[in-house]
Chain A
Amino acid sequence: MGMEGIGARVARKEDKRFITGKGRYTDDMVAPGMKHAHFVRSPHAHARIRGIDSAAAEKMPGVIAVLAGDELAADAIGSLICGWMIHSKDGSPMNMGDWRPLAQTKVRYVGDAVAIVVADTKAQARDAAEAVEVDYDVLPAVTGSIDALKDGAPQIHDNAPGNLIYDWEIGDGAATDAAIASAAHVTEMKIINNRLVPNPMEPRAALGVYDEGEDHYTLWTTSQNPHVARLVMSAFYNVAPENKLRVIAPDVGGGFGSKIYIYPEEIVCLWASKKTGVPVKWNCDRTEAFLTDAHGRDHVSTVKMAFDASNRIIGLKVDTIANLGAYMSLFSSAVPTYLYATLLSGQYAIPAIHANVRTVYTNTVPVDAYRGAGRPEATYLLERVMETAARELGVSPAELRKTNFIREFPHQTPVIMCYDAGDYEASLNAAMAVSDYAGFAARKAEAQSRGKRRGIGMSCYIEACGIAPSAAVGSLGAGVGLWESAEVRVNAVGTIEVLTGSHSHGQGHETTFAQLVAERFGVGIDTVSIVHGDTDKVQMGMGTYGSRSGAVGMSAVVKALDKVEAKARKIAAHLMEADESDIVIENGELKVAGTDKSVPWFQMALAAYTAHNLPAGMEPGLKEGAFFDPANFTFPAGCYICEVEVDPETGKTEIIQFVASDDFGKIINPMIVEGQVHGGVAQGIGQAMLEAAHYDPETGQLLTASYMDYTMPRADDLPSFQVSTTETACPSNPLGIKGCGEAGAIGSPPALINAITDAIGNNDLTMPATAERVWAALRSAR
């Protein structure tokens, strides 16, 4: 490892612009002649639209246009799609209801877009939007998934009887039932995974610019995957063909999944720019974000885990109902199926697993992937059950896990996944050592003497990252391939540009991707620029989610670097009249091993472009591209331990320590990886203790639609974290990377709830474990 190579704790290149106020986010963009948009949104959770009268609004100051769904439909703009086909267990395809970018006949959640107002200023657009008269015939609404499946529930989409989207299963039901029937012990639980709002700090925004002279569109947008946005808007939404549509995702202020999807506003701003002849910018209020950004989680499950007499798990049966909201968002169908149920084996050797998943429509905003996407739900369910089973069986939580750990790899689970590498006991032992698990009893006694209740809880998670290989996800219903592309351009002066289809919205790619080049060629990272987020610059890419930038995106860069290196070696060997196999590249020079002959990197690059003296038949220039499609998912895993102290008088929980021990495989920049874990753990603690989206069950109004009502984790809610790593290399990509973006949010909620339930002596506790809920659970345990 060099000073800036793989494994170096390099400060980030991109920081300078962010700490000096020079970051460039979508809402900072200004186009000549730009006007401002505000959306007219449904105030009702479920209603028929009888009519829209925009006459008064159109006469308001500054108003350029008020456009509604009929005009959008007349221009043949398509409906929003879900890109992952799931079939029910009876073989029928999922029931995808029609989602118009601007609702025409019916609105299905509070916030459903009905019309767009374009005006000179944002304030004028907002004023005029209030003057648009929409005549609604209000219908009964349903917001909870259990209620939506009941007889007589309001019917949300005509083609989804009983609001059922699909009824899907995985695993061997008969074998699992037999295991449960023969078990020495069965632990049964009902598990609720609370609904969350992702809340990246930058609200969504879009700037659509139509160029009439070129019949060309440009969209600036807050996206995690601009190329997918272009593909979908071109192939399905009929906005423009790909060669006439440029999508740019500049600096993006966090995503956490919520900026994967192509939302109605982006489509409508582009279309409205053509309709009005002016660039149209929309940016989202925070309340609008709460109402319209895709939410996460919202599962209700029952689970039975069966053990034999030696405490080995012999079967696991899960029944889950997942709320997908009013429409099927882009990847929504995959989250409670292939990103959830395929992880139900956890870190354990379980011979028989069966999971049944029903997804339902409700009158709530669509639910899709949020940091972890299905894997937090699987981990929470499993790790709550494991800790509970340990208590019921009277064995230590660590011992029960060790008894059941998978220890040989590759390991084929009964639910599709084949784990390629790991050492789960190493992570567990490391976390127990850092947390001084052995000393807990003494700390508990000390707390007791002060009238406080101490508890400790653990969680051993596994996740699947990379979301590839393409052929595998295709066979499971994915509408796209999930490879990644890269291009490495060596300029004539030796500086290097790396173009990647991955997108950075906080992950630090401009630094870590440059570290790959520094490692390979010994050049400084300041001579390397990372280019991403613009469909005119980068040919194609699948974007960043599922912790895939390292495992898949960087691997594509490595493949391109291989090709650049091969050509560079040929050029250097030719220049020095040496054998290609004797060339070594280090410290920015190409040397002939065992001699004092060398050519500086820049000189080799210049030779490639002057082309005065290249090997016979070689093309000039030095630029190579590559696509990488992995052999398997990657499987990060780890152990989290949380220790809490509960005040029995108030129910307030203080996190005394939070210990994370993760196996992410090879790590490029430990500083950045630790930062990812910190942020993930904070979101997981938020889910477990603070956050929940609450809809009023009668009216369907979102009651938690601002930072005054939805509890975002603040600095004084959290401790500093103790983060460390163990390492088993991932065999499925050239760098051995597993991915680290989601682990914190996946592993932490069960650790915290296991700790609180241990402290209060009552296992019946639902997330978020607010002081009120903890106090009530403590009282009922007495």
Chain B
Amino acid sequence: MVSVSMTVNGRTVSGQCEDRTLLVQFIRENLGLTGTHVGCDTSQCGACVVHVDGKAVKSCTMLAAQADGSEVLTIEGLASGGELHPVQAAFRANHGLQCGFCTPGMIMSAVDMINRHGGKLDEKTVRAELEGNICRCTGYHNIVKAILDAASTMGDGTRVAAQ
């Protein structure tokens, strides 16, 4: 067993878990934050994407112990003060989700993508950047639209807006 302590969505949390516990298991099972999903065993689908110290990470590729001392942001912590994050709002406005299972990972990846590229995203870049997130419902059409919409809303001040 290993003791881990980290900041999740602004709250300090700590817990005991088996050494082999993945970060996604710690988030879902120890912390009860079930918005982060598991869709595959091989780090392909991206349903488990969270931010660790400001970067998008597949939380199934990392042990909980490796995140000790880190700042973690999950989908539950993205909206602030009851106000949706612009990426969340854009996914709804553009029908960028159907069953909702891949959605938390998609949104967390999209926020990271917009942070890195600012308002300069185009369709080709968005599609290339989504390589690590699989959706089976939407055919990506409206996800791409939503991300481009959010990027233009957030503009050049994206990094500030996201934090």
**Interface, chain A (partner B; CB < 8 A):** 11-12, 14-25, 27-28, 30, 121, 123, 199-203, 251-254, 256, 285-287, 505-508, 671-672, 674-675, 678-683, 706-708, 712-716, 718, 720-721, 744
Contacts and interface: CB of A to CB of B under 8 A. Distances in A.
Contact of B95 (A22, A675, A714, A721): A675
Contacts, number: 180
Contacts of A674: 95
Nearest to B21: A123
Given A22-B35, A712-B134, A286 B41 contact: yes
Contact of B134 (A203, A285, A714, A744): A714
B132 to A, nearest CB: 9
Contacts of B104: 18-19, 21
Q: Which of A253, A683, A706, A708 has the most CB of B within 10 A?
A: A253
A652 B138 CA distance: 24
Given A12-B95, A18-B103, A253-B99, A285 B41 contact: yes
B100 A23 contact: yes
A716 B98 contact: no
Contacts of B141: 675, 678, 682, 718, 720-721
29 contacts: A11-B95, A16-B92, A19-B88, A19-B100, A21-B35, A21-B75, A21-B76, A21-B104, A27-B34, A123-B18, A201-B102, A253-B101, A254-B99, A256-B136, A286-B39, A506-B137, A675-B95, A675-B142, A678-B138, A678-B139, A679-B136, A681-B139, A682-B139, A707-B40, A707-B44, A708-B44, A712-B134, A714-B134, A720-B141
Contacts of B128: 715-716
Contacts of A720: 123, 141, 144-145
Contact of B34 (A28, A672, A679): A28
Given A679-B138, A715-B144, 5 more contacts: A21-B104, A286-B41, A679-B136, A714-B140, A715-B131
Contacts of A30: 32
A672 B97 CA distance: 10
B95 A21 contact: no
B42 to A, nearest CB: 5
Interface of B: 18, 20, 28, 32-42, 44-45, 47, 74-76, 78-79, 84, 88, 91-93, 95, 97-104, 107, 123, 126-128, 130-131, 133-145
A18 B96 CA distance: 11
Contact of A706 (B32, B41, B93): B41
Contacts of A671: 95
A707 B93 contact: no
Contact of A715 (B101, B127, B136): B127
A689 to B, nearest CB: 13
A202 B128 CA distance: 23
Contacts of B101: 23, 25, 200-202, 253-254
Nearest to B147: A715
Nearest to A202: B101
